[in-house]
């Protein structure tokens, strides 16, 4: 994958003309194309504000794919990263799925390949494979269950306690699940999201000192997640004001909580959504530099080009999609 850049080159139409330069005109053109193409636009909560504001649905990767599957849209424009568009293609095989920038990848999904997983499985015959949704379709196809950050603990608890488990690819989410379930027969792949891995316990301490009255919301992919769980269990953190949650869990909690301020330990893109859905409340990033450049690659110009030129289509080979769908359906059958 080529080096990332947040600087967009001009978008040139097929007839040699540039796309609308005025933002309102550009949004109007996107809306026109959205109607003409019978398209639905999805935006992950880490996308830039302009994309979140434009989208039909904003949320986490699996939730967005499931929402899109229920619509009568013929085209899905997924403003996220590559593995998310693959999941949408798996759940909506009769729809065209477009990713506005093919370079929008994921360091976590890239940390394990299907070949590596097959080799790991050979070292642990009979083990149950639980794969985070932040994986490629090929890795999902080699898995027994998928999971999200919201349901990972429930998925693992649904598996017999004496059953060996291979959990991948996120080390920090896996360690949090292992501590939360108390199981010692979970083997962890040593992968990480480079953004969440950079959010350390020291960042949490500094943020708490700066905003002592704020509730703490921590994503379990963070390097600080297991430390927070240990501190909760030991009583060093107040369980009424400390919550380990998925991004969607953070949004729901912040909207329902009586608290007026929150420390947020995840990628900073979610702050825009939190502030929109919980106006009047204050949200502070635990780490200002927790920014995923991959998630910031999609722009209004690229969405316009995607709808105009129907680029870039994401497909999954049927045999891979069928096997990956089994792991996803097993997860859904557990409850959520």
According to the annotation, is 49 in a ligand binding site? no
- CATH architecture of structural domain 109-192: 3-Layer(aba) Sandwich (3.40)
Question: Would the pLDDT of 16 be above 70?
Answer: no
CA distance 25 to 149: 38
38-96 residue pLDDT tens = 999 999 999 999 999 999 999 999 999 999 999 999 999 999 999 999 999 999 999 99
Q: Kindly list the distances between the CA atom of residue 87 and the CA atoms of 84, 166, 282, in Å, as whole numbers in the listed order.
A: 5, 21, 33
What is the model's pLDDT at position 336?
Answer: 62
- Residue 226 contacts residue 179 (beta carbons within 8 Å): yes
pTM: 0.91
What is the model's pLDDT at position 290?
Answer: 98
What is the model's pLDDT at position 20?
Answer: 74
According to the annotation, is 92 in a ligand binding site? no
CA distance 267 to 178: 23
Superfamily assignment of 196-285 in CATH? NadA-like (3.40.50.10800)
According to the annotation, is 149 in a ligand binding site? yes
According to the annotation, is 146 in a ligand binding site? no
According to the annotation, is 303 in a ligand binding site? no
According to the annotation, is 61 in a ligand binding site? yes
According to the annotation, is 272 in a ligand binding site? no
According to the annotation, is 134 in a ligand binding site? yes
Domain with CATH 3.40.50.10800 in the chain: 23-105+294-315, 109-192, 196-285
According to the annotation, is 222 in a ligand binding site? no
309-336 residue pLDDT tens = 999 999 999 999 999 999 999 999 997 6
According to the annotation, is 247 in a ligand binding site? yes
For the domain made up of 23-105+294-315, the CATH class stated in words is alpha beta
Residues 6+ apart with CB under 8 A from 65: 42, 84, 87, 88, 90, 91, 92
According to the annotation, is 284 in a ligand binding site? no
CA distance 209 to 168: 34
According to the annotation, is 313 in a ligand binding site? no
CA 92 and chain centroid, separation: 18
According to the annotation, is 253 in a ligand binding site? no
């Amino acid at each position: 994958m080529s080096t990332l850049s947040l600087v967009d080159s001009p978008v040139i139409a097929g007839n040699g003309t540039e796309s609308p330069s005025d933002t309102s005109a550009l949004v109007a053109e996107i809306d026109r194309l959205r109607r003409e193409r019978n398209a639905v636009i999805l935006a992950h909560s880490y996308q830039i504000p302009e994309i979140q504001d434009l989208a039909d649905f904003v949320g986490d990767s699996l939730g967005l794919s499931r929402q899109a599957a229920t619509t009568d849209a013929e085209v899905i424009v997924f403003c996220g990263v590559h593995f998310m568009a693959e999941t949408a293609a798996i759940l909506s095989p009769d729809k065209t799925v477009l990713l506005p920038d093919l370079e929008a990848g994921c360091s976590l999904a890239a940390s394990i390949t299907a070949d590596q997983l097959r080799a790991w499985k050979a070292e642990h015959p009979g083990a149950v494979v639980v794969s985070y949704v932040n994986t490629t379709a090929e890795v999902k196809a080699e898995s027994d269950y998928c999971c999200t950050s919201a349901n990972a603990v429930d998925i693992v608890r649904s598996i017999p306690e004496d059953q060996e488990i291979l959990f991948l690819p996120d080390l920090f989410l896996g360690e949090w699940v292992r501590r939360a379930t108390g199981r010692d027969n979970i083997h962890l792949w040593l992968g990480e999201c480079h953004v969440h891995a950079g959010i350390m316990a020291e960042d949490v301490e500094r943020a708490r000192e700066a905003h002592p009255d704020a509730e703490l919301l921590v994503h379990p992919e963070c390097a600080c997640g297991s430390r927070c769980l240990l501190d909760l269990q030991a009583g060093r953190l107040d369980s009424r004001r400390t919550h380990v949650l998925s991004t969607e869990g953070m949004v729901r909690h912040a909207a329902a909580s009586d608290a007026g301020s929150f420390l947020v330990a995840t990628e900073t893109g979610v702050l825009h959504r939190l502030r929109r859905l919980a106006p009047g409340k204050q949200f502070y990033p635990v780490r200002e530099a927790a920014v995923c450049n991959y998630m910031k690659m999609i722009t209004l110009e690229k969405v316009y080009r995607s709808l105009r030129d129907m680029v870039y289509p994401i497909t999954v080979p049927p045999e891979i999609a069928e096997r990956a769908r089994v792991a996803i359906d097993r997860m859904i059958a557990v409850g959520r």
